Amino acid sequence: MPVAVTIDEIRAAHARIAGHVVRTPLRPALSLSRDGSPVHLKLETRQTTGSFKLRGATNAVLSLDASAQGGAAGVVTASTGNHGRAVAHAAKARGIRAVVCMSQLVPANKVEAVRALGAEVRIVGCSQDDAQNEVDRLVAEGGLAEIPPFDHPAVIAGQGTIGLEIIADLPDVELVLVPLSGGGLAGGIAAAVKALRPQAKVVGISMARGAAMHASLLAGKPVEVEELPTLADSLGGGIGLANRYSFALCRDFLDEVILLSEEEVAAGIRHAFRAEDEIVEGAAGVGIAALLAGKLRPSGPTAIVVSGRNIDPELHRRIVEEGVAA
């Protein structure tokens, strides 16, 4: 099977999005470091819109060829979370329309957050499937191009730029820890790291509750798992039974996948705040959590991708002050 996303595409993405996204810092985390195994945090919490999703969304929006897309004058997605925000921001920056389709069940604060970024919100039906059907309808009608959250070459290449920056800033890196859901982030980063430093290990980390990519890798093909509420809410959801790119990249390039309990995810959020002064959402704290839980033993320079900061402030307060796990 051909590699879906190459290092050249990731390099091109890096050049394309430079100036549109933040080149985030990679900084030492003394509380997690040991002799011979310094640990660094790649802080996508400092990214505009609060998560790395802006890299992939921006690369996809800037790669749109208006004529090839049937004159696409805008983009559409069904994501209400970090990807929705990123698509709204990237479209606004390019001066094109963004439509975000949501079901009636999406809470008002999420609807407002997307509107505040300048996107049009379309409320349809009662489920994520209904919202996705509306996306499909709008794309078929013409004029709008879908930007999916992970299974898209330009999106994956955009996320892979994090891998380029890690190698540039920490050339002797031996271990890279990456949050894993649909696998756009981990697949893109692993493609970059393995091309530039094949001996470095890349490990994906998910919550045990509803780890769709983990189940799919075990099954050898994309499978569905039951979606359960989790503190790592940005890691929820399936990988798509018709997955075309991210599954193959994760299968070919990830060395290992680690699963965490809800208590372990909470401990990651708490440690990030108390010991490293970082506000992270559950999905972003999983690399820290995996080290704290002793599920990995770094031998050599280590980089942890801290993927975003969009957590409800009240939930964050309860986790760090009261030790609430779920």
Ligand X SMILES: *Cc1c(COP(=O)(O)O)cnc(C)c1O
- Kindly list the residues in this chain that would bind ligand X in the complex (CB under 6 A): 51, 53, 82, 150, 179-186, 234-235, 281, 283-284, 307-308
- Determine the residue with CB nearest ligand X: 308
Beta carbon nearer to ligand X, 38 or 262: 262
CB of 70 to ligand X, least distance (A): 27
CB of 36 to ligand X, least distance (A): 29
Written as one letter, the residue type at 82 is N
CB of 238 to ligand X, least distance (A): 10
CB of 71 to ligand X, least distance (A): 29
Other beta carbons within 10 angstroms of residue 187's beta carbon come to: 32
Beta carbon nearer to ligand X, 144 or 186: 186
C-alpha pair distances (Å), 2 with each of 100, 218, 252: 32, 21, 11
Beta carbon nearer to ligand X, 180 or 200: 180
Beta carbon nearer to ligand X, 184 or 301: 184
Beta carbon nearer to ligand X, 38 or 77: 77
Backbone CA torsion sign across 248, 26, 172, 157? positive
CB of 280 to ligand X, least distance (A): 8
127-132, long-range: CB within 8 Å, 24+ apart, which pairs? 127/103, 128/78, 128/103, 130/103, 131/78, 131/101, 131/102, 131/103, 132/78, 132/101
List the one residue out of 293, 308, 225, 296 whose CA is nearest residue 263: 293
Distance of CA 46 to the CA centre of its chain: 14
Beta carbon nearer to ligand X, 74 or 182: 182
Pair 239, 246: CB distance under 8 Å: yes
CB of 24 to ligand X, least distance (A): 13
